[in-house]
Amino acid sequence: MTTETLTRILICDDSAFARKQMARSLPAGLNTHVLFAGDGAEALELLREEKADLLFLDLNMPNMDGYEVLERAQSEDLPVITIVVSGDIQPEARQRVSTLGAIGFIKKPTDTELVQNLLREYGLYPPQSDLTCKLASEDCMTASAASLAKDSALTLPDYLQELANVAMGRSTDLLARLLDVFIKQPIPKVGFLANSELQQAISAARDSGTYSTVCQGFTGAGLAGEALLIFSDSSLAEMAQMLDYESTSSDSVRTEVLMDMSSILFGAFLKGFGDQLDLNIGLGRPAVLGHQRQVSELLQHHRTQDEQLLCIEIVYTLEGKNIQCDMLVLFTEASLAALGRYIEYLAD
């Protein structure tokens, strides 16, 4: 396939914000027709109809994720060049997509220079393109304007879900490298709820088991809230072993395991979240809310408050291990105005 015939690009991502970011990252001079798919099944249909030559593919999507799209495209021998664009930057994720036929991997958030360099590396965007076309990238994609217009009505949770997805990728990468495991990437849940609704809303509350929980407050640039790590007690022994603790027979060891996990996940997530908005978010001192208790007991202090919270929930699952934990990032009601301003600036 030559660069002269490579004119059709498909961007597949369940996040409308991410699709828009990727489209804006296409370099000037890449005069293409751009199509968009909101999930893997839609992308496969377009590929089967041979409507795209180059696919920018997200991994973390509902119903059919990027791994399955790659598997189907490979098994059906669909004629497309695929570059993965993902917040999941674990070494194992990169290796898996390469095995499944992706020619490249771009970590989110994308930028034009990074995309341009990768396309040049594979001969898909020759140097003379800069000389032959000085149009802005938006002008080079007039054929896709109608498709992009569909994505314009984004809500605050839409933006936050993609920011959380990228930040989650930072925290899972750190944990995966530390423990030498692969961590399954969920789709972050983002929503507004009252304090009193928190226990009913989170995934861990649907389990009858007992949990241990650590809480850590955060502040910075008009934002404030707390992060909660809700760790299943049935997972603590295996987690302690992976972190080189001898046993979890005492509360002090269980506390150390919780502190280690919260330090890794809270720090990396909030830094990844803040970096995307060009903010510094500081963490306060962690506090253990309890050991071997029901979720309703651990979250009792939230039930007495009427404040509306913005909640981001991520369920971390280690592949091949009996380890799962819930991380909740709760922004106060007073933080919403500041969040809206920062995201408005990001979206411009």
Give the confidence band of 3 by pLDDT, cuts at 50, 70, 90.
very low
Asked whether the beta carbons of 156 and 343 are under 8 A apart, the reply is: yes
pLDDT digits (tens, 9 = 90+) for 122-151: 887 765 544 343 433 444 444 444 444 445
Query: Could you tell me if 50 and 185 lie in one domain?
Result: no
| Whole-prediction pTM | 0.86
Residue 302 within a domain: yes
Give the confidence band of 33 by pLDDT, cuts at 50, 70, 90.
confident
pLDDT digits (tens, 9 = 90+) for 158-216: 899 999 999 999 999 999 999 999 999 899 999 888 776 776 667 665 666 788 899 99
Residue 328 within a domain: yes
pLDDT of residue 123: 81
State the Cα–Cα distance between residues 289 and 226, nearest whole angstrom.
13
pLDDT of residue 285: 93
Q: Average pLDDT in the 255-264 region?
A: 92
Residue 2 within a domain: no
Asked whether the beta carbons of 170 and 272 are under 8 A apart, the reply is: yes
Residue 3 within a domain: no
H/E stretch holding 290 reads: strand 282-293
> What backbone phi and psi angles, to 5 degrees, belong to 97?
-70, -30
State the Cα–Cα distance between residues 23 and 109, nearest whole angstrom.
12
pLDDT value at 251 more than 60: yes
Of the candidates 124, 149, 174, which is a domain's last residue?
149
Residue 57 within a domain: yes
Give the confidence band of 108 by pLDDT, cuts at 50, 70, 90.
very high
**Greater pLDDT, 302 or 150:** 302
Query: Could you tell me if 113 and 237 lie in one domain?
Result: no
pLDDT of residue 6: 54
pLDDT of residue 307: 76
Of all residues in the chain, the percent with pLDDT exceeding 70 is 82
Query: Could you tell me if 294 and 170 lie in one domain?
Result: yes
Instruction: Specify the number of domains making up the chain.
Output: 2
Query: Could you tell me if 202 and 186 lie in one domain?
Result: yes
Residue 1 within a domain: no
Residue 180 within a domain: yes
Query: Could you tell me if 131 and 78 lie in one domain?
Result: yes
pLDDT digits (tens, 9 = 90+) for 211-230: 889 999 999 989 999 999 99
pLDDT of residue 346: 78
Residue 58 within a domain: yes
3 state DSSP class of 83: strand
Query: Could you tell me if 319 and 209 lie in one domain?
Result: yes
Retrieve residue 253's tokens.
């060891």
Query: Could you tell me if 216 and 267 lie in one domain?
Result: yes
pLDDT of residue 345: 81
pLDDT of residue 225: 93
Query: Could you tell me if 207 and 251 lie in one domain?
Result: yes
DSSP 268-282: HHHHHHHHHTT---E
Query: Could you tell me if 99 and 166 lie in one domain?
Result: no
Query: Could you tell me if 50 and 77 lie in one domain?
Result: yes
pLDDT of residue 302: 63
**Neighbour-count burial for 110-128, b at 16+ CB within 10 Å, e otherwise:** beeeebbebbeeeebbeee
Retrieve residue 14's tokens.
């369940």
Which domain range does residue 92 map to? 8-149
State the Cα–Cα distance between residues 50 and 2, nearest whole angstrom.
16
DSSP 110-131: P-HHHHHHHHHHTTSS-TTHHH
Give the confidence band of 73 by pLDDT, cuts at 50, 70, 90.
very high
Query: Could you tell me if 169 and 205 lie in one domain?
Result: yes
CATH of the domain at 48: 3.40.50.2300
Give the confidence band of 309 by pLDDT, cuts at 50, 70, 90.
confident
Of the candidates 100, 123, 149, which is a domain's last residue?
149
Of the candidates 100, 120, 149, which is a domain's last residue?
149
CATH of the domain at 164: 3.40.1550.10
pLDDT of residue 196: 67
Query: Could you tell me if 281 and 169 lie in one domain?
Result: yes
State the Cα–Cα distance between residues 294 and 205, nearest whole angstrom.
8
pLDDT value at 71 more than 70: yes
